[in-house]
Amino acid sequence: MTGGQKQALVFLALALVIAVALLWLPRHEDGAEGGPARVFPEIDVEEVSHISLQHGTAAPVAVVRTDEGWRITAPEPLVADTWRADSLASTLALLEAQAPIPGANPVDYGLVADQALHVEFGPASGSGISMLVGDAAPVGGTYIQVEGEVRVAEGLSLASLDTTVDALRARNLLQGEPSEAGFLAIELGDLRLEAVRRDDGWHDGSGRPLDSDGLDAWLRSLAGMRASGFGPPPGELVARGRIEVRAGEQPPEVLSVGQVEGAPDLWWQGAVQANPVTLDEGGPGLLDEGIRLLGTPWEPTPPLP
């Protein structure tokens, strides 16, 4: 065989591979020949505006997408964690499953209304979508029921959808962007200190320049505080301090910190939180550091006895 003939055979083999791929890929993506297919191809992730999750007869957990971001609407109004809500929307809109199981009895797959996870979601306009999520499939994935048909949703676990309010709610006490803050105030007892951001940096109430880099870093630390648990606290809170942060003409975000007498834990509370929270970082040192940066000598406040 000449070199030219060998080269022709190579090109022919490549052409056959490309032709097979072009014929097979669309069929595979559409779920043909037993492959998985999107369960809700008519829904785009960005169009999902409301999600409701109800496990058995428990109270439902519901979130809606608003102009200000995701909000929890049930069982109580709270700010939702953006990443967690977006993840739920993506999981549902992009869900893939095998073809329906012929003659399947939903009861055999954990798809019983008072036991399974009942999911409802959809766009702002148009009819919503309803789905039951049941047992884990032995071959991988989870059994689901959509429009009366039982299917295996590959890559889906019940834990990825089933959630609680505490797992879904926002954990950052400060919701605004630190770089957009133009005013801040710190209160501790009878002391109140204020600062305003100007074109040339932060200034105190008298117009004296402050450590702008230090204050910006302090604000980022404040914004990075995330709750490690939610209240209520084990007793009455004794106020320890208060911080206000405002951007533009927006109402200020207010963070307060308190302590239960005889207990070491500090409890912070933000305007978007229903209950005080304990924090995995932060503490009274943030108040002390903020007061130091605002230029007033201050001894760290000892804890309550």
pLDDT in tens, 152-178: 998 899 988 988 888 899 888 888 899
Q: What are phi and psi of 246, to 5 degrees?
A: -135, 140
Structural domains in the chain (count): 2
Q: What is the pLDDT of residue 23?
A: 36
Q: Is residue 113 part of a domain?
A: yes
What strand order describes the sheet that includes 237-246?
A: 201-204, 191-198, 183-188, 237-246, 253-260, 266-270, 277-279, 227-230
Find, among 177, 283, 281, 170, the residue nearest to 230 by Cα.
170
> Is the residue at 253 inside a domain?
yes
Residues 49 and 144 in one domain: yes
Q: Considering the domain boundaries, does residue 160 fall inside one?
A: yes
66: left (phi over 0), alpha (psi -120 to 50) or beta: beta
| Residues 119, 237 within the same domain | no
Nearest-angstrom CA–CA distance, 157 and 182: 45
Domain end among 168, 203, 224: 168
Averaged confidence pLDDT in the chain: 84
Residue 71 β-bridge partners: 64, 79
What pLDDT is stored for residue 240 in this prediction? 86
Same domain (yes/no): 162, 231: no
Residue 68 sits in the same domain as residue 151: yes
Q: Is a pLDDT exceeding 90 seen at residue 14?
A: no
**Are 186 and 281 members of one domain?**
yes
Q: Give residue 92's domain range.
A: 37-168
Task: Report pTM.
Answer: 0.72
80-89, 110-119, 124-133, 249-258: lowest mean pLDDT where?
Answer: 124-133
Quote the percentage of the chain above a pLDDT of 70. 82
**Is 127 in the same domain as 205?**
no
What is the model's pLDDT at position 295? 81
pLDDT at 27: 33
Q: Are residues 129 and 237 in the same domain?
A: no
Q: Do residues 214 and 255 share a domain?
A: yes
Last residue of a domain, one of 119, 148, 168: 168
User: Average pLDDT of 51-72?
Assistant: 93
Tell me if 304 is assigned to some domain: no
Question: Which pLDDT value is given to residue 126?
Answer: 62
Q: Note whether 89 and 139 are same-domain residues.
A: yes
Co-location of 81 and 192 in the same domain: no
Indicate the residue among 113, 144, 168 that finishes a domain.
168
Whether the Cβ atoms of residue 272 and residue 208 lie closer than 8 Å to each other: no
Comparing C-alpha atoms, which of 147, 132, 125 is closest to residue 49? 125
Report the pLDDT value the prediction gives residue 22, as an integer from 0 to 100.
Answer: 36
How large is the average pLDDT for residues 198-202?
Answer: 95
**Per-residue pLDDT, 270:** 81
- In terms of domains, do 53 and 142 share one? yes
**Which pLDDT score, from 0 to 100, does residue 34 have?**
59
What count of other Cβ atoms lies within 10 Å of the Cβ of residue 272?
17
| 60 lies in the same domain as 142 | yes
